[in-house]
Amino acid sequence: MFRNLRLAFGKIRQNTTKPFHLCGQRYLQSLREPSQPLKRCPKWVCVEDAVKIINSEHLVFIQGGAATPMELVRAMTEHGVCNNLRGVRLMHMSLEGDTPFANPEFEKHFRSISLYVGTNLREAVNEGRADCIPVFLHEVPRLFYEKRIVPDIALIHVSMPDARGFCSLGVSADCTRAAICTAKVLIAQVNEHMPRSFGDTVIHSSHFDWAVRYDCPLPCVICPPPNELEAEIGKIIAQRLIEDGATLQLGIGNIPDAVLCALVNHKDLGIHSEILCDAMVDLVEHGNITNKCKTKHRGRMVGSFGIGTKRLYDFLHNNPFVEMLAINYVNDPRVISMQPKMTAINSCIEMDLTGQVCSDSLGCKMYSGFGGQLDFLRGAAISQDGRGKAIIAFPSVTSKGESKIQPVLKLGAGVVVTRAHAHYIVTEHGVADLFGKTLRQRANALIQIAHPDHRECLEKAAFDRLKSNPTKYL
């Protein structure tokens, strides 16, 4: 079977002018189009039989986000432990749900390798029982296409087949397409609750080697309503930095939700964002998001994965207003830069007085990953219409009352956004525009939006570090 697939793939490569990343072992056409069915059917089995193919030393890709195939993950873990498998490596984006394979007692059986560290694996990564790969999201598919990562098995989560046998990857396109193009074996969890989305998500059921029917609701991620401080940050960004007709990218969390809540009076907004969330649905239904001003994918929202509640998943189902596309396209800074008034809004853990931004670690302890933050900040900064805005927003203090603007980053803190990449910085106390500013000008601008209780200490630290009063050179 695999030999025939390789032969078919070789013929396509000889006769196509499309770039390599649009082809793969399992796909006989550009994956922006419906994939060509194979002349075979998947083996429909129970979940315990499906995972029996996993063996020691195998590299297993697991689809992530709200599309995490949790039943396959559960069965895989039990299979690995009961059969005393050793050294099974698990490659994945951030996963939802339980991650039993990461328990200390299973360390000899499994080793998780995150492309973006989620909450459920932080402890394992920081204790050395799991690992992670620092990588820009838009470059993750390259790891598969260039065969730096070649999964023996891919565990994916799809919708029910339609009348022609086509399924959908649903809420998670991201790097899944690249993984299934290069994986040797596909095992699919088929779920009637998985939405059928449009874009880079179509796959024919004949490409599955094994298929498991398991119906369950997708995991819900509910962000609490923004507090007063977060709401104030949202208002500042909405009123001072976002124009009508802007194309938006927002991360996940309270501050992005606060920004979206503050946009009810804006017109003709567009979405080009790796993450789609519930708060965007409100603006679509209210008429604020129309995508009519976008130059690419006009009239459609573009995302790479969606995570939220059933309301979001219902919105994505069979909705041609939304395109779920691969992360190497959605997060490509060159593509991002083509959108009108591209406005990227992200957050961080801390930053120093010169503009260095830490977003992936708490000192030496890993917290998340590079993600798409720099992809979008750079894309917005180099926008072709010259009206893009790269924004980092955060409360001026932590939940413990410490200043998020520090004289220097904590020991071991990872710099995700460099001084040169940092443009607009927003707290509840205002906006600092760092682009083109000297070190002293930056320090002064950041001190002005720091919490008043910390400004005096920051001024002293700035004097010690810069050997001059930062206000002197304004």
Residues 29, 36 contacting (CB under 8 angstroms):
yes
Q: What would the pLDDT profile of 277-299 be if each residue is shown by its tens digit?
A: 999 999 999 999 999 999 999 99
For the cut 50, the answer to whether the pLDDT of residue 5 exceeds it is no
Please give the full DSSP string across 21-89, using - where no structure is assigned: GG--SS-SS-TTSPPPPPSS--EE--HHHHGGG--TT-EEEE--BTT--HHHHHHHHHHHHHTT---EE
**Whose CA is closest to 251, among 270, 275, 272?**
275
Domains of the chain: 2-213 (3.40.1080.10), 228-473 (3.40.1080.20)
Q: Which stretch of 21-25, 180-184, 322-326, 411-415 has the lowest confidence by average pLDDT?
A: 21-25
pLDDT at 344 over 60: yes
pLDDT for position 35:
59
Cα distance between residue 353 and residue 330, in whole Å: 32
pLDDT at 253: 81
State residue 42's pLDDT score.
87
d(CA 178, CA 4): 20
Distance CA 196, CA 314 (A): 10
Taking 80 as the threshold, does the pLDDT of residue 13 lie above it?
A: no
Residue 468 confidence class, pLDDT cut points 50, 70, 90: confident
Q: Determine the 3-state secondary structure of 194 from DSSP.
A: coil
Which region holds residue 457: left if phi is over 0, alpha if psi is between -120 and 50, else beta? alpha
Q: Lowest mean pLDDT: which of 209-213, 324-328, 462-466?
A: 462-466
Q: What gap in Å lies between CA 61 and CA 262, rounded to an integer? A: 39
Q: Could you report the per-residue pLDDT of 353-384, keeping only the tens digit for each?
A: 999 999 999 999 999 999 999 999 999 999 99
pLDDT one-digit tens code per residue, 120-140:
999 999 999 999 999 999 999
Q: What is the mean pLDDT of residues 199-205?
A: 95
Active site members: 274
pLDDT beyond 60 at 24: no
Q: What is the pLDDT of residues 139-178, one digit of tens each?
A: 999 999 999 999 999 999 999 999 999 999 999 999 999 9
Contacts made by residues 283-289, CB under 8 angstroms, sequence distance 24+: 284/315, 284/321, 288/263, 288/264
pLDDT band, residue 386 (cuts 50/70/90):
very high
Closest CA to 387 of 424, 427, 430: 424
| pLDDT tens digits for range 427-442 | 999 999 999 999 999 9
Mean pLDDT in residue range 216-238: 94
The answer on pLDDT for 31 being more than 80 is no
pLDDT at position 223 is 83
Residue with token string 């309503």: 225
Per-position b or e across 174-186, b if 16+ CB within 10 A of its CB: bbbbbbbbbbbbb
More confident residue, 316 or 39: 316
Q: Per residue in 73-119, pLDDT tens?
A: 999 999 999 999 999 999 999 999 999 999 999 999 999 999 999 99
Strand order in the sheet with 301-303: 198-199, 322-324, 301-303
- Residue 467 confidence class, pLDDT cut points 50, 70, 90: confident
Residues near 441 by Cβ (< 8 Å), separated by ≥ 6?
470, 473, 474
Rounded to the nearest 10 degrees, what angle do helices 439-449 and 452-466 cross at? 170
| 147, two tokens | 């065969």
Two tokens, residue 261: 């809540």
Q: Give the pLDDT band (50/70/90) at residue 38.
A: confident
pLDDT above 70 covers what percent of the chain? 91
Q: Angle at the Cα of 163 (from 162 to 169), degrees rounded to 5?
A: 15
Give 396 or 41, the one with higher predicted confidence: 396
DSSP assignment letter at 227: -
> What is the rounded CA–CA span in Å between residue 174 and residue 176?
6
Q: What is the overall mean pLDDT for the chain? A: 91
Lookup: tokens for 27: 């796909």
> Predicted confidence band at 473 (pLDDT cuts at 50, 70, 90)?
low
